Amino acid sequence: MKRLYRLTHSADFARLRKQGQSWAHPLLILSMDRNDLEWSRFGFIVSRRIGKAVVRNRVKRQLREAIRHHLEEFPRGWDVVIIARAPIAEARFAEIENAVMRMLARARSWACARERGAAVQE
């Protein structure tokens, strides 16, 4: 996934955790909020409780790859943070990708409904 599509500043992560809409899955938590850009950005949080560095890095690579495969399906102009939960360390890539897709589908439908609501109010 290109660096352009990644969240890198801690202030963005804090804003999303505080103000963003969140959804939970047994493998991950997804938080999202609007940004002022013409593309969406994604950030990943994999804590030490997931495992040692090798395991955490593998989980982050798998999450980035799952997002990269479906980047065009997601609406533009959103910041998204995916927080890994402990069971993700033992999950296969197909399970991780399925979890990410389910959470993105929920987020996508919420984002579209929110955009329609904003358009109606204008």
Residue 121 in any domain: the answer is no
pLDDT at 119 over 70: no
In a domain, 26, yes or no: yes
Tell me the mean pLDDT in the region 25-48: 92
Residue 6: is its pLDDT beyond 60? Answer: yes
The number of folded domains in the chain is 1
Decide: helix, strand or coil at residue 65. helix
Q: At what angle do helices 93-121 and 53-69 cross, to 10 degrees?
A: 50
In a domain? residue 9: yes
Q: What is the CATH number of the domain that holds 97?
A: 3.30.230.10
Residue 5 confidence (pLDDT): 84
User: Does a structural domain hold residue 73?
Assistant: yes
**Is position 89 within any domain?**
yes
In terms of residue numbers, what domain contains 58?
A: 3-114
Neighbours of 111 (CB within 10 A): 22
Question: 53-94, pLDDT tens digit by residue?
Answer: 999 999 999 999 999 988 888 888 899 999 999 999 999 999
Residues forming a β-bridge with 41: 79
Contacts of 61 (CB under 8 A, 6+ apart): none
